[in-house]
Structure 1
Amino acid sequence: MDSDGNTGCTYGADAMRNRWWNRLVNQVADRGLGLSKPNQNPDVMKRLEENCRALLTSRGEASGVALAREVARAVDELDETGKTRFLQLLTERFGPDRNTVLAAAERFRNSDGRADLQELLRVVEPPRQEVFRRLNGAPDGTRVLVRLRETLVRQLRAHPELETVNSDLQHLLKSWFNPGFLQLRRISWDRSPALLMEKLIQYESVHAIQSWEDLRRRLSGDRRCFGFFHPALPDEPLIFVEVALVEGLATQTVSLLDPDAPVGNNAQADTAIFFSISNCQVGLRGVSFGNFLLKQVMGELISEFPHVQRYATLSPVPGFACALRVEGDYEDGFTRDRIAALIQEYAETLCSTAGVADPVDALYQLLDDPLSNRVVLEEPLSRLVLAYLTRVRRRGSVADSVARFHLSNGARLEQVAPFADSSSTRLDASFGMMVNYRYVVDSVEKNHERFVKTGEVAISRQLQKQLKQVNAAWDSGAAG
């Protein structure tokens, strides 16, 4: 960690190098403009197609950079509809030629030569991948491609034919944004630029930052904030995590988010709470680096605060309310019979409080105003959350996206935090329920292996007895 509190290169040095490199490439491109033939065709898509084809056949360095820059600028200036048309163009006109692929496959099938294999691999690759590679070499080309994929992600549902282009571009982005290329930086109030602060406010996706004072408190002495950056996008955080140094395992967001809360004493802290992890770039969806971020941040914290013994999260349960209402597509999920079995122990209290005879109906009625009924709901909801995180399945794994992230990284489910967050967002998504995941350094790899191989959810000792009751009720509800 350097004198500015950053891991790796400083923000200023990265930005200066990036600007210097872009100026150099722009100078090469400007010279290259004299070697290329500007196309004045008024049809933007036709001009883009012709320039992309010229880009594929360009051999001169200067002319190639010039063409890449002009194509990147043209794509960047397109609106959402225009970018969608460009993506459709890449789908229709820049895919592999079927007949060429079949002929190469036949030659390979009938030979044992390495040359035939290399030729097959060459013709199978869609030409649009090379278009993307060359655009990535243009000044600001990486940013343009990340923004283009934002459009692609938004348009996939309406235009499923774009999935092939999405696969190609995602494949390249995974290589270009390999964690080996990423730089971990500490973000601080005193040393990070104002532009970066504004982006933290913009990109925070777990607990919205309400004001500059709110942000300042989150970056104060008993807090840490780290982000991953890429050399080609030095001004843009890719993902960042906010950490609170506290005593004990935090079970309420109010103590973590109150901008007027006194700054704690780091010497007395025994727990580091990861309370917000925000992915910043929609265009990098599916490019995973959150697990590398947490591991590197843990390394930084262990180095700075060797007396801190626990590393845990206070995490949302974003899909719980939807699953409990039996909404959504699950391979194995809640049913009325299962819910009834899970809350049987609390049925009498629920029914008497709601004034209805059926306990499931009583539960749903009380959930219309969960905060007013929190005393009655706390225990049954805690059991239902445990069932949701361990038994509800989607696409062969736990249904909850946050749980899937932490469990696949080797964390264990530590405890349920009832009504930990009373914000409208959390009440709508999970009736205010949150959970703690804990990263125990000696168990991370073992937990990770079990989860990815068998789907087994690692849980704390204090939850194991409850889980036995949950499993019995779940299975009896299925039989019913």
Structure 2
Amino acid sequence: MNHLSLPGPHLSGSTQDLLNFAEGFSTSASHSLLSSGYDEVPATVNADSVAKLITSVLKISNKTAVSGITVENQVRKFCQAFEQLDSEESRLKIMEFLAQQDVKRKKISELATAYSNTEDPLVRSRVEDQLRQSLQPSYYWLFQKIGALPGGVKFLVDFRAQLISFCLSNLEIERTSALKSMSSQLKQLLSHWFSVGFLDLDQITWDSPCSMLQKISDYEAVHPMRNWTDLKARVGPYRRCFVYTHKSMPGEPIVVLHVALTEEIPESISKVVKHHRMVKKYSVDSHQSSGSKTGREGEDPSSCEAAIFYSITSTQTGLQGIELGTQLIKQAVQKLKEELPDLNQFCTLSPIPGFRKWLLILLQTAKRDGKTLAQTDLLTIDEAEKWQGLIKMAGNLQESDLGLGTLIQLVKTNSWMEDQNLIAFLEQPLMRLCARYLYLEKRRSNALDSVANFHLRNGAVLWRLNWEGDRSVRGLTNSCGIMVNYKYVLDDLEPNSTNYQENHKVKASEQVIHLASQAKVLQRKLSL
């Protein structure tokens, strides 16, 4: 990831601020704690030598009496050797070899037969225990031992991240099947270690360690930060930043949540991110030059009527599938209510990452089927006719597809945003289609959009769609610039969550339901 560059002329403040910056730039990249083992790794480290190490380590697990020091040293030696493998091909080979160290099926069969052939409760209890142990793959024992090492949990998180990457690559199904099974087993183990009870909730401020601030910037995936001034504002007045950390990964943010405190629920990200250095006549830059500390000083609590969750980032790919964001939001709400008792609105300003991709698939499918826009369920007949008139005036009409190909091209290139007439015309059909995408489109009975599914599972309301909510290249590429507010009504979270997860019912506002109903009418007309 790119590190922020020091914006010399923009800096002002105390000498301590400068010392913090210096500390941050002198901080080297974190290295594995596994590198300080007692035993030396083999002089020549390659896939074959590491595979031999695995075989040697797993033999120890079968011994009834073995020194804990021996186990620790051998497991550490494997970790050191694996980290020294310098090619993805070698690491994949080791992961596949390890995945083959699965359950002992013959032993399981023998134990199952013994269990079914005995009536003695004591014997059955003993056989049950043996069965449970036998149903765990051999590599599960190795993962447990790695997790007990200093730096071992981080090693396993990174190990699973690589596993996931290989599973998503173009390997044959037979090869990915065993890797996916091992990833699932490792996920189960990590989910115990990363349960909320083992996590610490921290609030990040400008006084936090510079290395942590740097990571907050590096990991920000939703609205990237441009410089240190940008970062300073996002942890300053009228802003809150909460993170989960884990004692086994010190100084490493696991999940990051950014919150804006506002008077009303914003409909545009520019009101939260790009203009955030001027809030209620409060300037971060002027506050810095006055010599006072950034933070809560200078805030007017009466102006903090809504808490806007505008970015949540899970920083560790290896923890994919382990739900931590939900708990972070719940604990952040609790902290905010303690700090600002009169705060009464909790809402997101969220991207819609899959909308434009979904829309282009619909358009391209219609074009491939030889349809005109009027023959699709995307535009009404009147809208299709008006669209042709607009692009005829612009000289863009392709007679072969009566405007469908032109629409595809404009959406692909985002060039429709350069024409005010097109912006005004496309607002109604795109908002209608976006409501359909979020409210009606499903995958396994849940919302098709991953962000929507996350918030709806939490019990939030699909509250408002915002036209031109994000006019950045990222916003246009994700969702044609549309953003959405998910509102967290605290008293309704449990019934909303239950109704969504058990009955697959989405709680939505009148605006969203109205737009989605219009889209549904078009779908029905097409099917007649």
Whole-angstrom CA distance in 1 between matches of 2:76 and 2:115:
38
Which secondary structure state, in structure 2, belongs to the residue aligned with residue 341 of structure 1?
coil
Whole-angstrom CA distance in 2 between matches of 1:131 and 1:71:
10
How much does 1:314 deviate? 0.7
The answer to whether structure 1 residue 459 and structure 2 residue 508 are counterparts is: yes
Whole-angstrom CA distance in 2 between matches of 1:131 and 1:165:
12
Query: Residue in 2 aligned with 1:14?
Result: none
Corresponding letter in the other structure for 2:104? D
Corresponding letter in the other structure for 1:242? H
Whole-angstrom CA distance in 2 between matches of 1:301 and 1:55:
51
How much does 1:54 deviate? 4.7
Query: Residue in 1 aligned with 2:368?
Result: none
Query: Residue in 2 aligned with 1:182?
Result: 199
Which secondary structure state, in structure 1, belongs to the residue aligned with residue 252 of structure 2?
coil
Q: Is the 8 A contact 2:51 2:94 kept in 1?
A: no
Q: Aligned pair count?
A: 444
Q: Which of the numbers 397, 404, 421 marks the counterpart of 2:453?
A: 404
Corresponding letter in the other structure for 2:305? D
Corresponding letter in the other structure for 1:340? T
Q: 1:39 to 1:371 in 2, by over 3 A?
A: closer
The answer to whether structure 1 residue 445 and structure 2 residue 494 are counterparts is: yes
Deviates more, 1:374-383 or 1:431-440: 374-383
Whole-angstrom CA distance in 1 between matches of 2:482 and 2:266:
13
Q: 1:62 to 1:327 in 2, by over 3 A?
A: farther
Q: Is the 8 A contact 2:257 2:309 kept in 1?
A: yes
String of CA shifts for 1:332-391, please: whole Å, max 9, x gaps. xxx988993353163343232123585755643553423122211112111110000112
Root mean square deviation of aligned Cα: 2.8
Query: Residue in 2 aligned with 1:370?
Result: 416
The answer to whether structure 1 residue 340 and structure 2 residue 386 are counterparts is: no
Q: Which runs of 5+ in 2 are unaligned?
A: 1-32, 281-299, 366-370
Which secondary structure state, in structure 2, belongs to the residue aligned with residue 184 of structure 1?
strand
Corresponding letter in the other structure for 2:79? A
The answer to whether structure 1 residue 244 and structure 2 residue 249 are counterparts is: no
Whole-angstrom CA distance in 2 between matches of 1:418 and 1:127:
54
Q: Which runs of 5+ in 1 are unaligned?
A: 1-21
The answer to whether structure 1 residue 420 and structure 2 residue 464 are counterparts is: no
Deviates more, 1:116-125 or 1:356-365: 356-365
Whole-angstrom CA distance in 1 between matches of 2:185 and 2:118:
29
Query: Residue in 1 aligned with 2:17?
Result: none
Whole-angstrom CA distance in 2 between matches of 1:144 and 1:444:
36
Query: Residue in 2 aligned with 1:470?
Result: 519
Whole-angstrom CA distance in 1 between matches of 2:374 and 2:497:
29
Whole-angstrom CA distance in 2 between matches of 1:91 and 1:325:
39
Whole-angstrom CA distance in 1 between matches of 2:103 and 2:347:
48
Query: Residue in 2 aligned with 1:352?
Result: 389
How much does 1:270 deviate? 1.2
Corresponding letter in the other structure for 1:446? P
How much does 1:275 deviate? 0.5
Whole-angstrom CA distance in 1 between matches of 2:325 and 2:494:
16
Which secondary structure state, in structure 1, belongs to the residue aligned with residue 484 of structure 2?
strand
Q: Is the 8 A contact 2:57 2:71 kept in 1?
A: no
Between structure 1 and structure 2, the one with the greater Rg is 2
Q: Is the 8 A contact 1:185 1:226 kept in 2?
A: yes
How much does 1:470 deviate? 2.8
How much does 1:259 deviate? 6.0
String of CA shifts for 1:437-476, please: whole Å, max 9, x gaps. 1000011111111111122111013433333323322333
Query: Residue in 2 aligned with 1:155?
Result: 166
Query: Residue in 2 aligned with 1:109?
Result: 116
The answer to whether structure 1 residue 145 and structure 2 residue 156 are counterparts is: yes
Alignment of 1:88-99 (within 5 A): 88-92=96-100, 94-99=101-106
Q: 1:213 to 1:137 in 2, by over 3 A?
A: same
How much does 1:108 deviate? 1.9
TM (norm. structure 2) is 0.78
Corresponding letter in the other structure for 2:391? A
Whole-angstrom CA distance in 2 between matches of 1:199 and 1:51:
38
Q: 1:338 to 1:232 in 2, by over 3 A?
A: farther
Deviates more, 1:233-242 or 1:115-124: 115-124
Whole-angstrom CA distance in 1 between matches of 2:514 and 2:337:
32
String of CA shifts for 1:18-61, please: whole Å, max 9, x gaps. xxxx89xx7xx75xx6xxx9877864224422442255247322
TM (norm. structure 1) is 0.85
Which secondary structure state, in structure 2, belongs to the residue aligned with residue 99 of structure 1?
helix
String of CA shifts for 1:67-107, please: whole Å, max 9, x gaps. 22222222223233332222111112x21122111111222
% same residue: 29
Query: Residue in 1 aligned with 2:240?
Result: 224
How much does 1:142 deviate? 0.7
Whole-angstrom CA distance in 2 between matches of 1:336 and 1:276:
39
Query: Residue in 1 aligned with 2:130?
Result: 119
Corresponding letter in the other structure for 1:48? L
Q: 1:138 to 1:401 in 2, by over 3 A?
A: same
Alignment of 1:240-389 (within 5 A): 240-258=256-274, 261-264=277-280, 265-326=300-361, 340-344=376-380, 346-355=383-392, 356=397, 358=402, 360=404, 363-364=407-408, 366-367=410-411, 368=413, 369-372=415-418, 373-389=422-438
